[in-house]
A = this chain, B = another copy of it.
Amino acid sequence: MQPNVTRPSQRSFDQGREVRLIRHFTKHAEGAVLACFGDTQVLCTASVNAGVPRWLKGQGQGWITAEYGMLPRATHTRSDREASRGKQGGRTLEIQRLIGRALRAAVDLKALGEFTITIDCDVIQADGGTRTAAITGGCVALVDALRSLQRDRKITQDPLKQLVSAISVGMYQGQAVLDLDYAEDANCDTDMNVVMTETGGFIEVQGTAEGAPYVREEMNAMLDLAAQGCEFLVNAQRQALREP
């Protein structure tokens, strides 16, 4: 390991980007958070609907689902609009399934009752780590939606079990590094996304060798960084949620 490797972002190996979680970013949704990880900006809205999908009916529990999209020019070169191509791509579906699983882990679905909360994560500007910003910001929007249900006396109990956040880690020139931006992601050997609870449990680990395979020692180094990164993010979430 060479802790002195210079990252494209000039950040030290264990330094994440500036994180901003701006609540009430739009006015219609029950929760609406702009999550910024450096130049990555994801608008996360939480929408509450009475009722649950058909396959859940009559079981006395709620549902959390997520959808993910990128504005066509969120990226360096314009990508086709999925609505116009007529289908969501594999990457989009993979990411929105991940966000949904992650956020369901934050909530006691029985306590939610027969409501569905849809978390829409739309990338306004992309610079790496959009799925981790979406999970981290989406969780704050979700809490706002749960609060609105309680405020409107539609539910009596707080269904929140735990905050959930996510960060990426990777191997860059033989060094484990935290929170990859686009330039780092494009040049790293391994890209790993880690979703954790506020008490440090793992919800999801997805690590892919894009160049050389990674070994156990490297995995350990990456998981250590991820735990540190998620601790920081949970504090940012708590901070944001303390504001009115």
B residues within 8 A CB of A202? 207, 209, 213-216, 219
CB pair B84 A88 closer than 8 Å: yes
In whole angstroms, how far apart are the Cα atoms of A35 and B190 in the complex?
Answer: 29
Count of residues in A whose CB is under 8 Å from the partner chain = 65
A109 to chain B, nearest CB (A): 12
Q: Which residues of B contact A236 (CB under 8 A)?
A: none
A→B interface (CB under 8 Å): 26-29, 32, 39, 41, 43, 45, 47, 49, 67, 69, 71-78, 81-84, 86-94, 96-97, 101, 105, 118, 120, 122, 124-126, 192, 196-197, 199-209, 212-216, 219, 223
Copies in the complex: 6
Pairs of residues from A and B, 10 with the lowest C-beta to C-beta distance, nearest first: A201-B213, A82-B83, A90-B93, A47-B78, A45-B73, A83-B83, A29-B73, A26-B125, A205-B207, A94-B94
Instruction: Among B27, B74, B196, B204, point to the contact of A125 (Cβ < 8 A).
Output: B27
Expressed in whole angstroms, the Cα–Cα distance for A138 and B72 within the complex equals 15
Asked if residues A219 and B205 are in contact (CB atoms below 8 Å), the reply is yes
Contacts of A71 in B (CB 8 A): 43, 45, 69, 120, 122
Please list 12 pairs of residues, one from A and one from B, whose beta carbons are closer than 8 Å in the complex, sorted by A's number. Answer: A26-B73, A43-B124, A45-B71, A47-B72, A47-B73, A81-B83, A90-B97, A192-B205, A202-B209, A204-B208, A205-B219, A219-B223
- Bound Cα distance from A41 to B26, whole angstroms: 9
